[in-house]
Amino acid sequence: MATEQSGRLRLNRSTFTKLVVIVIVMVGFSYALIPVYRQICEVLGINVLTQKDGTVERPVNSQVDTTRSITVDLDGNAQGPWRFRPTTNSVTVHPGEMAVVMYEVVNTQARTVQAQAIPSYAPQSAMPYFKKVDCFCFKQQTLKPNEARQMPVVFFIDPKIPRQVSQITLSYTFFEIAGTDKVALQ
């Protein structure tokens, strides 16, 4: 009887040890899935707030093409409790020339909000040539109650842009990030 009980005890310990190992492996696997999920979403372009458009910094050997000019029309759309607009309607640049434009946002609410701007380009074929060096769209913005802010976009247009493109529209949609505190501040 003692050996049967001893054998059962060893079997129980062995089973318990195996179950603990399985639980640890499952928890580790679930944590490993988070970065894998983010990478898959980024590659597929889903569930991504800021679209990568291949813009980081200006290439060292780029040249300004002064033989032509491109007009960049600016547009701002607000999806939330604020006013959002560019401070100028358009700017004319030479391909390869660095330019800075400003957008203005005013939080019209008596509460703090978090927002994100998403760019779009027209014509769509101009997107790979529109290189942003710095942009407020690269990160979320936190706006305090009734705060007004001017935010820059520093960009250049790659000189390799097709010659038939003489006008580009840069449009931003500024929208509130879900899950932010919606309680009015006193």
Domain residue spans in the chain? Answer: 1-48, 70-176
**Tokens 């800075």 found at:** 100
Q: Which residue has the higher pLDDT, 4 or 179?
A: 4
Assigned token pair, 122: 């027209």
Q: Do strands 70-79 and 167-176 pair parallel, antiparallel, or not at all (unpaired)?
A: parallel
- Which is more confident, 49 or 134? 134
CA-nearest of 133, 136, 129, 132 to 70 is 129
**Per-residue confidence band for 61, with pLDDT thresholds at 50, 70 and 90:** very low
Instruction: Report the pLDDT value the prediction gives residue 47, as an integer from 0 to 100.
Output: 58
Does the pLDDT value for residue 95 go beyond 50? yes
What pLDDT does 181 receive?
47
| Token pair listed for 174 | 């500024």
pLDDT at 65: 84
Q: How far apart are CA 54 and CA 131, in angstroms?
A: 7
Tell me, what's the pLDDT at 8? 85
* Type and span of the H or E element at 69: none
Looking at domain 70-176, its CATH superfamily turns out to be: Ctag/Cox11 (2.60.370.10)
pTM for the model stands at 0.61
